[in-house]
Amino acid sequence: MGALRLIVGLGNPGPQYAQTRHNVGADWVRELAHSQGISLALDARFKGEIGRGIIHDVDLRLLIPTTYMNNSGEAVGTLARFFKIEPQAILIVHDEVAFAPGIAKLKNGGGDNGHNGLKSIRASLGNQDTFNRLRIGVGHPGQRSRVNAYLTQQTPTQEERGLIQAAGLTSPEILADIVAGRWQSAMTAFHAPEPDATTKQPDESAGPDSHLGES
């Protein structure tokens, strides 16, 4: 598998969603851009904030869609088609309610697990699900009916935010493996702390969650 060409951070636009759990993907990409000296600028053609730079010798574009989460594919699909970027060369960074804060995992392809942002992106890429994901755990409120508000209206506690940020951190060596597409090496080395025993877990009887509404 070849090197990445595009990293996308998912979230909702607007100050009312800033720092919410649903925006951890956008926050991750914004921090990556800052750490690598890459400027992000609004580009109406691609419905998002766009940046480009060299990260560990790999020429990469960064994208934070300015659509709502469930329309993320409008930005991703448009940019991918314009620059002829294959799904396998895309990394999507997003929140994951199935993981407690402090857990983050890389994944190659697969289903959307009820995440409307991923669902939109898959549709925009011709129903191909071979794009890569960095899934950052944000925890679960315990009841399916509370998931939407939990993700889009509530900010993590200071402790949870620290765990979320720590889980998403990557060393230069791991980041180099990720952008180069050395997935086995990256997955082996990627480390996140174990969740605290008191962290709320999903109600298994509730079934899979749909990351709803403007999410």
Look at the alpha carbons of 146, 152, 158, 161 in this order and tell me if their dihedral is positive or negative. positive
Closest CA to 16 of 211, 153, 163, 159: 153
Amino acid at 193: P
22 catalytic per annotation: yes
Structure-block tokens of residue 17: 């969603």
* Active-site hit among 22, 94, 115, 211: 22
The three-state secondary structure class of 6 is strand
Task: Identify whether the C-beta of residue 65 lies closer than 8 Å to the C-beta of residue 94.
Answer: no
Please list the residues that pair with 96 across neighbouring strands.
137
**Catalytic positions:** 22
